[in-house]
Amino acid sequence: MPELPEVEALAYHLRTHAVGRVVTRVDVASLTVLKTVRPGPADLHGREVTGAARYGKHLDVVLGDLHLVVHLARAGWLRWSDALSAAPPRPGKGPVALRVRLSDPEGRQAPGFDLTEAGTKKGLAVWIVHDPGEIDPVARLGPDALDLDTAGLARLLRGRTARLKTVLTDQSVLAGIGNAYSDEILHTARLSPYATAGRLDDGSVERLSEAMREVLTSAVDRSVGQEAARLKGEKRSGLRVHGRTGLPCPVCGDTIREVSFAERALQYCPTCQTGGKPLADRRLSRLVK
């Protein structure tokens, strides 16, 4: 799933390549991705791209007083092309859900981007609105993970009884962090994913705050400026524990362990994070303190 760094990089890519161009056509290959009716795709025709922004893990393509807001979900992606095919995508065929064609001042190419989604479980969502705040998932977002200082994080965690991993990935509490970067942040902070969020002492909160800034800022720095097609590989190359089950921890050499749930898994290092104790690999594992 694209998280804060990748979405920030996609917004940067659009600001670099799309701003100033005019929408010439929008092809919808999957009606299920559209979560709004009016304004519709045809209302984007002839509008200039004036900016691109990010709200948590939501991408906002700004077209004057309209916004094309995208949530890429688990398997969605934005694929930029300097020369799109002249043929529209075929509904129900292939991964393309929506295509936005843009103008070329020289009239020789048809640049633009496809919104694609792999797999059978569909979650890609697109809204066309006058104000992103009209979108419920955007309106319910907590503070952005890169906007919180240590004191703000301490206030956010105070009184919360959920596991730390759960709090970090709850977008209504803290926006932008998903499964992968929460694993990386917790490893860097040397904290158990099962620690109770509201019971962290001051030193742990400070380590967590520093780890959030370090992991996310480093990932943004690596990602921004990369071509959209290379961002997934760039993300994987920077991960130290997530997706590395069975490999040695790059800090202490212990074996990276995994806890599997119904639809996802977390990875951690017992030596660095849980006092050497492996977490039971079942959904109702007890907390390791």
**How many angstroms separate the CA atoms of 111 and 105, rounded?**
11
Which of 24, 20, 8 is closest to 84 using CA atoms? 24
- In the sheet with 51-55, reading across from the earlier edge strand, the strands are 51-55, 58-63, 66-71, 125-129
Q: Say what the pLDDT of residue 284 is.
A: 45
- Residue tagged active-site, from 140, 264, 277, 282: 264
Q: Say what the pLDDT of residue 282 is.
A: 61
Q: Is the pLDDT of residue 285 over 60?
A: no
Q: Say what the pLDDT of residue 287 is.
A: 42
| Selected residue with higher pLDDT from 217 and 110 | 217
Q: What is the pLDDT of residues 113-125, one digit of tens each?
A: 999 998 777 899 9
- Strands 76-81, 51-55: pairing kind: unpaired
Q: What percent of the chain has pLDDT over 70?
A: 96
Which of 104, 105, 129, 101 is closest to 115 using CA atoms? 101
Q: Is 2 a catalytic residue?
A: yes
Classify burial at 278, counting beta carbons within 10 Å of its beta carbon; exposed 0-12, middle 13-18, buried 19 or more: middle
The mean per-residue pLDDT over the stretch 2-7 comes to 95
| Selected residue with higher pLDDT from 226 and 177 | 177
Q: What is the pLDDT of residues 158-197, one digit of tens each?
A: 999 999 999 999 999 999 999 999 999 999 999 999 999 9
Q: What is the pLDDT of residues 192-201, one digit of tens each?
A: 999 999 999 9
**How many angstroms separate the CA atoms of 73 and 119, rounded?**
12
SS (H, E, C) the chain: CCCHHHHHHHHHHHHHHCCCCEEEEEEECCHHHECCCCCCHHHHCCCECCEEEEECCEEEEEECCEEEEEECCCCEEEEEECCCCCCCCCCCCCCEEEEEEECCCCCCCCCEEEEEECCCCCCCEEEEECCHHHCHHHHCCCCECCCCCHHHHHHHHCCCCCEHHHHHHCCCCCECCCHHHHHHHHHHHCCCCCCEHHHCCHHHHHHHHHHHHHHHHHHHHHHCCCCHHHHHHHHHHCCCCCCCCCCECCCCCCECEEEECCCCEEEECHHHHCCCCCCCCCCCCCCCC
- Residue tagged active-site, from 2, 95, 132, 193: 2
- 152's tokens: 């703000």
The mean per-residue pLDDT over the stretch 242-262 comes to 94
- Residue tagged active-site, from 3, 117, 184, 258: 3
- Label residue 1 by pLDDT band (50, 70, 90): confident
Q: From the CB of residue 30, how many other CB atoms can be counted at a distance below 10 Å?
A: 18
**How many angstroms separate the CA atoms of 39 and 26, rounded?**
13
- Label residue 228 by pLDDT band (50, 70, 90): low
Mean pLDDT of the chain, nearest integer: 92
Q: Is the pLDDT of residue 46 over 70?
A: yes
Q: Is 57 a catalytic residue?
A: yes
Q: Say what the pLDDT of residue 43 is.
A: 97
| Selected residue with higher pLDDT from 286 and 110 | 110
Q: What percent of the chain has pLDDT over 90?
A: 80
Q: Is 275 left (phi over 0), alpha (psi -120 to 50) or beta?
A: left
Q: Is the pLDDT of residue 147 over 90?
A: yes
Q: What is the pLDDT of residues 67-106, one digit of tens each?
A: 999 999 989 999 999 999 888 898 878 899 999 999 987 7
Q: Is the pLDDT of residue 286 over 60?
A: no
Q: What is the pLDDT of residues 16-42, one digit of tens each?
A: 999 999 999 999 999 899 999 999 999
Tokens 């806890």 — which residue? 259
Q: Say what the pLDDT of residue 263 is.
A: 76
